[in-house]
């Protein structure tokens, strides 16, 4: 057990990373509390309108769409730690002003729209810089673990934040939740200040001042191994990851429940997400493309099932595996991009990843809100699962065509599924047993397949 824990949390041995993780955990708990209270506030101010909820979510992410690529350029040109201090300080100021309006009781719906947009601006600058900053906190061998722990931190907050908000909404009402969440949002400003700059693993570049957005886009365009996960997450991030809109409406409109029930649905999703995040903490190498695509296929199936849940209990149970594969997919795609990119382009490439993953949310959230208002909230969930599944199938076909492989399914003598290289003769593909790792084939890892062996088991 001690060896397992040491392996799972080995990045926390780095002092700067400990400060980073601690600050993020405190802030994110507050952020999830705020977003949960905000969603409930929107429903109260808009007479239970899914469209208004979708509009607020969209406004939170419009700045991501507009500013993220520019933020990635900043990350490749300037000191990331200082940028993060400024971005988090701006977020704290906006959160304090928003909390004052809610606490004094003068808040109206357009106030929520404005502050959703302002908080989105701070996040648009902070997110790509923070994503690329992790590589300066730990050595390359610890990067998969550090990224996985960052995802786990996010999901611990996503579990505790909505759960605390659900309880506090019933005990202290909405203003009390906003005040507490605002106090927590200030934490990263201090943890970044307390870091030791001399221990950061920075890459010195002579052309740092000439980093251009277009160069980052051209770099990705030439790299199929980066382009595929980015395109896959563009579709799933836009359509499949709209739970802040759909779960709040599902709890209040379809299940006719209170804020605590909404918190429980979000917590069920986050429990599964935490499991998916922890499942990647022991990863030591770049995940294969078929692992990412497989997670997307399974996620689509479970989200589709959630849309047909007949009651709260069934929905909560289905949200656990949905959450698991949502974060396992997002984390796998993130790792595949981060661990395959040149450090000189990391800020701009991660900005592009954040743009397609989060920046498309305004489109998806607006569409989910509109669809739920006209055709019912459950249909917006199962339709999103169907689109996510179709996107994963499209990614699989794309990968098979590029790698010139084919899928071979056997029923006898025992059921099996294989990837077969186009160069392999039919007789060789059908003869004998699938070799194990010692003979060259790689199980569940597609990248070495294309380089070192014609056959792999999926």
C-alpha–C-alpha distance, residues 226 and 338, integer Å: 9
Helix ranges (DSSP H) in 280-408: 289-306, 312-338, 346-357, 361-375, 377-403
Q: Are the C-beta atoms of residues 232 and 333 closer than 8 Å to each other? A: yes
Handedness of CA 59, 64, 65, 70 (dihedral sign): positive
Q: Are residues 302 and 448 in the same domain?
A: no
* Whether 94 and 31 share a structural domain: yes
406 phi, psi to nearest 5 deg: -140, 155
Query: Do residues 446 and 332 both lie within one domain?
Result: no
Residue 204 included in any domain = no
Q: CB–CB of 269/368 below 8 Å?
A: no
Alpha-carbon gap, residue 458 to 448, rounded angstroms:
13
> What pLDDT score does 159 carry?
64
Considering the domain boundaries, does residue 203 fall inside one?
no
With the C-alpha atoms ordered 148, 149, 152, 153, is the resulting torsion angle positive or negative? negative
pLDDT of residue 118: 92
Stated as kind and residue range, the H or E segment containing 104 is: helix 80-104
Q: How many CB atoms lie within 10 A of CB 347?
A: 28
Measured distance CA(435)–CA(445) in Å, rounded: 14
Smallest Cα–Cα separation from 130: which of 91, 172, 178, 183? Answer: 91
Structural domain contains residue 202: no
State which of 358, 379, 400 marks the end of a domain. Answer: 400
Residue 91 lies in a domain: yes
- Per residue of the chain (458 residues), what is the pLDDT tens digit? 565 555 677 888 899 999 999 999 999 888 888 887 888 788 888 887 777 877 887 788 788 778 878 888 888 888 889 999 999 999 999 999 988 888 888 888 889 999 989 998 998 888 888 888 888 898 878 887 887 788 778 767 766 777 777 777 777 777 888 888 888 888 899 999 999 888 888 765 555 555 677 887 888 888 888 999 999 998 998 898 888 778 777 777 777 666 666 667 877 887 888 788 778 666 667 788 888 999 999 999 999 999 898 888 898 899 999 989 988 898 888 888 887 888 778 778 887 887 787 767 777 777 887 887 788 888 888 999 999 999 999 999 999 888 887 777 777 677 766 766 655 555 444 443 433 433 333 333 334 333 333 333 33
Show which of 362, 380, 400 is a domain's final residue. 400
Look at residues 400, 421, 444 and tell me which one is the last residue of a structural domain: 400
Same domain membership, residue 273 and residue 411: no
Exposed / middle / buried, residue 307 (Cβ in 10 Å: 0-12, 13-18, 19+): buried
Q: Are residues 408 and 389 in the same domain?
A: no
Whether 216 is covered by a domain: the verdict is yes
Domains identified in the chain, total number: 2
Domain shared by 302 and 408, yes or no: no
Predicted confidence at residue 391, as pLDDT, reads 94
Q: Tell me phi and psi for residue 106, to 5 degrees.
A: -100, 0
Domain co-membership, 143 together with 219: yes
Q: Is residue 129 part of a domain?
A: yes
List phi, psi (to 5°) of 382: -70, -30
Domain range for residue 179? 2-197+210-400
Q: Which of 153, 134, 151 is nearest to 142 (CA)?
A: 134
Please tell me whether residues 315 and 424 are part of one structural domain: no
Same domain, 414 and 386: no
CATH of the domain at 371: 1.20.1250.20
Residue 10 lies in a domain: yes
Residue 359 confidence (pLDDT):
66
Give SS3 for 419: strand
DSSP structure string for 191-208: HHHHS-GGGS-PPP-TTG
Same domain membership, residue 441 and residue 331: no
Residue 12 lies in a domain: yes
Pairing of strands 405-410, 416-421: antiparallel
Assess whether 440 and 317 both reside in one domain.
no
DSSP one-letter string for 19-51: HHHHHHHHHHHHHHHHHHHHHHHHHHHTTS-HH
Residues 250, 329 within the same domain: yes
């Amino acid at each position: 057990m001690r060896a397992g824990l040491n392996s799972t949390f080995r990045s926390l041995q780095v002092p700067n990373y400990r400060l980073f993780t601690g600050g993020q955990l405190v802030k994110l708990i507050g952020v999830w509390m705020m977003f949960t209270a905000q969603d409930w506030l929107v429903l109260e101010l808009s007479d239970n309108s899914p469209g208004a909820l979708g509009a607020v979510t969209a406004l939170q992410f419009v700045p991501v769409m507009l500013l993220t690529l520019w933020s990635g350029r900043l990350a490749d040109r300037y000191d990331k730690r200082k940028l993060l201090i400024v971005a988090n300080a701006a977020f704290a100021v906006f959160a304090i002003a928003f909390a004052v309006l809610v606490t004094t009781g003068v808040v109206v719906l357009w106030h929520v729209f404005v502050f959703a947009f302002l908080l989105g601006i701070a996040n648009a600058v902070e997110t790509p810089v923070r994503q690329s900053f992790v590589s300066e906190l730990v050595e390359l061998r610890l990067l998969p673990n550090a990224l996985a722990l960052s995802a786990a931190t996010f999901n611990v907050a996503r579990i505790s934040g909505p759960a605390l908000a659900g309880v506090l909404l019933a005990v202290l009402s909405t203003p009390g939740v906003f005040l507490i969440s605002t106090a927590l949002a200030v934490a990263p400003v201090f943890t970044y200040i307390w870091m030791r700059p001399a221990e950061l693993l920075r890459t010195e570049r002579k052309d740092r001042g000439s980093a251009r957005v277009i160069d980052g886009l051209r770099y990705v365009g030439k790299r199929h191994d980066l382009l595929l996960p980015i395109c896959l997450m563009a579709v799933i991030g836009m359509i499949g990851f709209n739970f802040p809109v759909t779960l709040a409406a599902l709890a209040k409109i379809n299940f006719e429940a209170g804020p605590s029930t909404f918190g429980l649905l979000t917590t069920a999703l986050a429990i599964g997400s935490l499991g998916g995040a922890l499942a990647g903490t022991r990863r030591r190498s770049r995940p294969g493309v078929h692992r990412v695509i497989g997670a997307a296929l399974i996620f689509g199936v479970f989200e589709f099932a959630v849309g047909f849940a007949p009651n709260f209990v069934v929905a909560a149970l289905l949200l656990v595996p949905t959450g698991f594969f949502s974060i396992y997919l997002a984390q796998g795609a993130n790792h595949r991009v981060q661990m395959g990119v040149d450090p000189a382009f990391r800020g701009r490439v991660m900005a592009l990843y954040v743009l397609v993953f989060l920046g498309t949310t305004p489109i998806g959230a607006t569409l989910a809100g509109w669809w739920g208002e006209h055709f019912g909230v459950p249909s917006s969930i199962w339709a999103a699962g169907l689109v996510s599944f179709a996107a994963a199938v499209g990614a699989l076909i794309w990968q098979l065509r590029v790698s010139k492989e084919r899928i071979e399914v056997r029923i006898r003598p025992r059921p099996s599924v294989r990837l077969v290289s186009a160069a392999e003769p039919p007789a060789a593909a059908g003869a004998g047993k699938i070799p194990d790792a010692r003979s060259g084939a790689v199980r569940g890892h597609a990248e070495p397949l294309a380089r070192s062996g014609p056959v792999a088991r999926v």
